[in-house]
Amino acid sequence: MVRRFFFTHEYRLPKVFLALLVLEFPLTIACLALYGIADPDTYRTKLWQNGADQGFNSSPNEIIYSYANYKPIAVPMVWSSALVQFNIVIAVLSMFLLLVKSTMFVLHSFWPILGVLVSILEVALYAVSIKHQSTPDMTDPAHPSPGLPWYLSKGCMYAAAGNHGFCMQARAVFGVTCAMVALFSVYFIWSVMSMWPTPSERAERDQQYEADIEMKKVNEYSPDSELSREEVWERNRQMFLNLPKTPNTPGFGRQNPMTPRTVAFTQLNGGQAPSQSSTAGPSGGLKFRDQYGEAGVPDGR
């Protein structure tokens, strides 16, 4: 039996994949909401300043002083607006991919190999977001922050009176990002497991492949394949010469073919063809006219 390498077209236990889609929807909505609230600078600078007041990290004023002294320095990634914009982009992309996956899954066209590629992409994007959200802040040598930002490492007990809610939102952003990485990792594992065919699926595919080969051989077989080009041409010529001639064919004959209409007019004319009758009327007469004439016509007609 021929062994061919192939990827499966269906997920094993489709209900598991459907459950992952159902779970992904609220998490994606949460990402859109939390990332959208943080845009453009709802609480980023406030938490940055709050950490500086507690001595946990650098101060946002140092960036202003550096620009004023023509010594620009890079804004720490954990406090930059680029991170907020990046999170919004990947959240919108995730919602788009979710809609595409759901539609293709319903149409039985979302193969496991596609799930592997999409899962790798989404895991990579959210992993980069986690890395940026946990990068150290070493801008101020006097107040370095080598680990996680203060709202993740120390909690919200150090948040100012008006920043406690913002601190909880920032922690929620990090938590939902980690949840998305875990979810798409499960997607990846399940897609890889479903991508490789089982022995029964491989045997079924081999049988189908062999049947397709036999059908192709039957369809490609032609009696002309055993004849030369000249023999095929001569056979077609003889078939053309032996075709029945039509009335318009030269040499068919001088008489027109007998059609039902010609037969009917011949009977009405007493056996004489219409082409041979005179303009004054049929010479042979009509059957019913002859019978009526023999009986006589009343004088008071």
pLDDT in tens, the chain (301 residues): 444 556 788 888 889 999 999 999 999 999 999 999 999 899 999 999 999 999 999 999 888 777 777 777 788 999 999 999 999 999 999 999 999 999 999 998 999 999 999 999 999 999 999 999 999 998 888 888 888 999 999 989 999 989 999 999 999 999 999 999 999 999 999 999 988 877 776 777 667 766 666 676 665 555 555 566 777 777 777 776 766 655 554 554 455 555 555 656 666 665 555 554 444 444 455 555 555 554 455 544 4
d(CA 287, CA 69): 129
Report how far apart the first and last C-alpha atoms of the chain are (Å, whole number).
Answer: 99
Hey, what are 123's tokens? 């895991």
Residue 157 in any domain: the answer is yes
User: Per the domain annotation, does 263 fall within a domain?
Assistant: no
CB 12 within 8 A of CB 194: yes
- Work out the widest C-alpha separation in the chain, in whole angstroms: 145
- Helix axis angle for 14-38 and 164-195, nearest 10°, is 150
* Domain membership flag for residue 236: no
Q: Which of 176, 179, 172, 195 is nearest to 118 (CA)?
A: 195
Assess if residue 264 is contained within a domain: no
Domain of residue 81, residue span: 14-202
239 lies in a domain? no
Question: Can you name the residues that pair with 278 across neighbouring β-strands?
Answer: 281
Other beta carbons within 10 Å of 174: 18
The total of structural domains in the chain comes to 1
Tell me if 88 is assigned to some domain. yes
Measured distance CA(203)–CA(252) in Å, rounded: 64
pTM above 0.95, yes or no: no
Query: Cβ of 53: how many Cβ atoms within 10 Å?
Result: 11
What is the spatial distance between Cα 240 and Cα 39, in angstroms, rounded to a whole number?
82
Q: What pLDDT is attached to residue 175? A: 96
Tokens matching residue 61: 């004023």
| 222 lies in some domain | no
Per-residue model confidence (pLDDT) at position 85: 95
The DSSP letter of residue 8 is -
Residue 212 covered by a domain: no
Q: What's the confidence (pLDDT) of residue 183?
A: 97
Whole-angstrom distance, CA of residue 294 vs CA of residue 301: 16
